Structure 1
Amino acid sequence: PAPRGADAVIEVEVTDAGTDVVTISASRAAGTFVRPAGSDVRSGDEVLPAGTVVGPAQVGLLAALGAREVVVRRRPRVLVCSTGSELTDDPVPADGQIRDSNSFMLAAAVEDAGGTAVRRLWVADDVPTFLRTLDAELVGADAGIDLVLTSGGVSAGAYEVVKDALAPRGVEFAKVAMQPGMPQGLGRYGEVPVVCLPGNPVSALVSFEVFVRPALRASFGHPRPYRPTQVATLTEPLTSPAGKRQLRRGTLDREHGTVALCGPAGSGFLGWMARADCLVDVPADATALAAGDPVSVWDLTS
């Protein structure tokens, strides 16, 4: 607190830094460098409305106010499970094997959305094994799983383990009119919600952006569940399949309001996905757009 009778603070830079005796070389008006009580937060103010995301500044404010406990919604716990007998975590895959990328990618997407990921590396294409793995993860003493998120095994092949295991148990599988990410599954396994994404990496991540991220953030009251969107101008032409909403990878020039496509439209081009900072949203009724046409763009950086 300021000493009684003082109405300004002289900064040490305009003194000779003396202690018992000090020489001051400049004057200051009343109120200079004085912070009146209540100038930041006043008694009775609402400082953190419901729905506020608690980050570093909010934690600092709570500590400054002496709030030792605050009511929050906990992060949803999401079990992330890749499927496929071809998957491996071996640094050098054998013939017929590929490294599992989806479980790492989707776990990171869950964490980025504000959830807590519980990652299973992979599960082989065997229905009993898949169900045993699922049961073991869901009934653990500290499981507390709020959502099961799988990738792979949902299409029309001979070994669609997720579809074969969960369709008889009430999970609905359907084809959605979008590209990438046509095959999808949604339902419950017991009491736990289940979302089943396709196995191609770009399809899985784009499907997460469309269906999972907004729902996950809304579930714990996030004030901004959706990615911000804006209209940008295409720098090049594109084509899109009739009757399908296409979400293309892009790079956004925010200064000039333009967007360039980032790689081809295929669902296996994860390298291009890693370079993109937005998704270009092409409506289902548009089969071709020209350079200079306006498009809606999802900003993946916010």
Structure 2
Amino acid sequence: MRTFFAAITLCVAGFAVSAAPTAPIAPVADAVITSKGMPKKLSDFGFFTDAAGWKPNKGVELYQLNSALFTDYAEKYRYIYIPAGQQAVADGDGLLQFPVGSALIKSFGYKIDGKDRLLETRLLLHRADGWIALPYVWNAEQTEATLKVAGKRIPVSFTDPSGNKRDISYAVPNKNQCKECHSLSGAVMPIGPKSRNLAHDTLDMLLSNAMLEQKSGYHPPIANYDDEAMPLESRARAYLDINCAHCHNRQGSASNSGLFLTYEEESPVHVGVGKRPVAAGRGSGGFEFAIAPGQPDQSIMMHRLKSLEPGVAMPEVGRSLVHEEGAALLSEWIAAMEKD
């Protein structure tokens, strides 16, 4: 899986050793993060020291995941900010609990006409009354990102990892759509940074920078679903965890489905094996089971994963393309299961 993590790190390193700036760089605006307002410009937060959003400010740290959510083959650049002197702590499920004033920053982009361009930057801000999700869209000049609470469609042409030319209408989610995924028991919450899904280098960075409490519980890492050297089932379960389990968990928005796709789920039926849908409809494709062992083409899960039809396609938001590699992985996993 291609990322720009190393490239950005080099860029930041080069910036750090260059000649000192003529004027001091303003720190991250803690008061803006915790205020009740919704700033119109991303630059108001001070998360980056450059106008183009590539050089993180002091205290804003790049991080990586073992397995990442698919979003129409977009490249993603993830950052964590925790107020100085405070720490995150992993709860019993390994989800990091961040102090008030923290921010999770995620920029999305593509290589377009040979240049890396950002389309949007999504923020999760931890305020005294809980988390708030805000989407910001970058201008054509790549000098500022502006708040778009109603979301936006952006036409994009790019080449996918298999060399296929793609033309899509990229969807920046509106503020309410952010809630659809980032929700646990009805409250907006982070979903990606669980200790078991943070890359080893990221965990080391958080600990060495005193951003994560040393005594936080250990949780065995989940697989990188792109790594074909890992066991097939581990890869498939990791894929479902990061792409589906933010809704399909016992406290998520799809809890009434009885389909729980977290990495820790032990019940085969709750993962979908031999499970009939709670409410049959066109989303089922006329098939009987979420997962029909040995028969991916007869499984509702595969039907919905391969569909682009509204009301059928899963996940419901965040993609306008079929993730061909993800579909192939899950199909191989289901095909390997013994038929009843």
TM-score (ref. length: structure 1): 0.28
TM-score (ref. length: structure 2): 0.26
